[in-house]
């Protein structure tokens, strides 16, 4: 049963993201609407997108407290993801062994950043006003994933060899035996839930930003005519 659910979640995750990307690419941008001050060249647009993705530039200018919590979470998540690669790769480079402590600290930081963002949504009026139930549920789901991961790190140590064999079999499409550790099963089920809802949630902003006309357009409405995609009709 778990194996079927795991492959179903993986399929929904991959197909869902690809479908959304196709939808984003086909959605016309009828107007020149870059958020000013905007770059005048394509190179400037590329740099703007890079600073948004790498440093959350506009969020830093808009709300530094939210930027702090969000940036802490995203950087920590990237480090935690890198640490988890050991479960999907047969031969681990020796240098990766020195990275484990960094990944553990990042896990703590990730949960802390999520908790900070959750409290801001609850305690700050303007954030509470624009927050939906889905926003809270996603934060709680992410905190539950991080918390169960930390529980396995510091308290209940599962059979790593068994888990690695299962994960490699899963992504290698070779099938796998269900691991016996209860906490890991909870952690894995929460990750599968996240994968299923990912393509249909606000988490798609990690892809959508590249298709946003407020970010990917040059500010040249006078220098170059912007032709509506349906004008030829």
Read off the tokens for 75: 């950087």
pLDDT by residue (tens digit) across 87-98?
888 777 676 667
- pLDDT recorded at residue 14: 96
- Domain assignment present for residue 203? The answer is yes
- Domain assignment present for residue 185? The answer is yes
- Domain assignment present for residue 10? The answer is no
Q: Using alpha carbons, select from 140, 143, 130 the residue that is nearest to residue 63.
A: 130
Contact 33, 213 (CB under 8 A): yes
Task: Compute the Cα dihedral for 62, 66, 72, 75 and give only its sign.
Answer: negative
Q: Is the pLDDT of residue 179 over 90?
A: no
- Domain assignment present for residue 200? The answer is yes
pLDDT by residue (tens digit) across 139-162?
999 999 999 999 999 998 888 889
Which pTM value belongs to this model? 0.89
Total count of domains within the chain: 1
Give the CATH number for residue 129.
1.20.950.20
Q: 168: part of which helix (H) or strand (E)? A: helix 160-171
Q: By residue range, what is the domain housing residue 157?
A: 41-216
SS (H, E, C) 88-143: CCCCCCHHHHHHHHHHHHHHHHHHHHHHHHHHHHHHCHHHHHHCCHHHHHHHHHHH
Average pLDDT of the chain, as a whole number? 90
- pLDDT recorded at residue 233: 52
- Domain assignment present for residue 104? The answer is yes
């Amino acid at each position: 049963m778990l194996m079927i659910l795991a492959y179903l979640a993986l399929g929904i995750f991959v197909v869902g993201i690809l479908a959304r990307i196709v939808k984003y690419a086909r959605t016309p941008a009828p107007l020149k609407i870059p958020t000013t001050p905007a770059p005048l060249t394509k190179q400037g647009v590329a740099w703007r997108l890079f600073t948004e993705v790498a440093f959350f530039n506009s969020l830093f200018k808009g709300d530094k407290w939210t930027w702090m919590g969000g940036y802490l979470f995203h950087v920590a998540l990237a480090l935690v993801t890198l640490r988890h690669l050991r479960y999907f790769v047969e031969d681990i480079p020796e240098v990766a062994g020195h990275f484990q402590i960094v990944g553990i600290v990042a896990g703590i930081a990730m949960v802390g950043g999520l908790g900070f963002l959750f409290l801001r949504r609850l305690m700050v009026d303007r954030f509470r006003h624009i927050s939906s139930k889905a926003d809270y549920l996603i934060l709680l789901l992410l905190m539950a994933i991080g918390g169960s991961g930390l529980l396995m790190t510091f308290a209940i140590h599962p059979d790593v060899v068994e888990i690695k064999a299962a994960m490699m079999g899963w992504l290698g499409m070779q099938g796998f035996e269900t691991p016996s550790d209860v906490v890991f099963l909870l952690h894995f089920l929460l990750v599968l839930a996240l994968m299923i809802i990912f393509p249909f949630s606000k988490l798609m902003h990690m892809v959508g930003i590249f298709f946003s006309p407020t970010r990917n357009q040059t500010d040249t409405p006078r220098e170059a005519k912007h032709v509506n995609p349906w004008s030829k009709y």
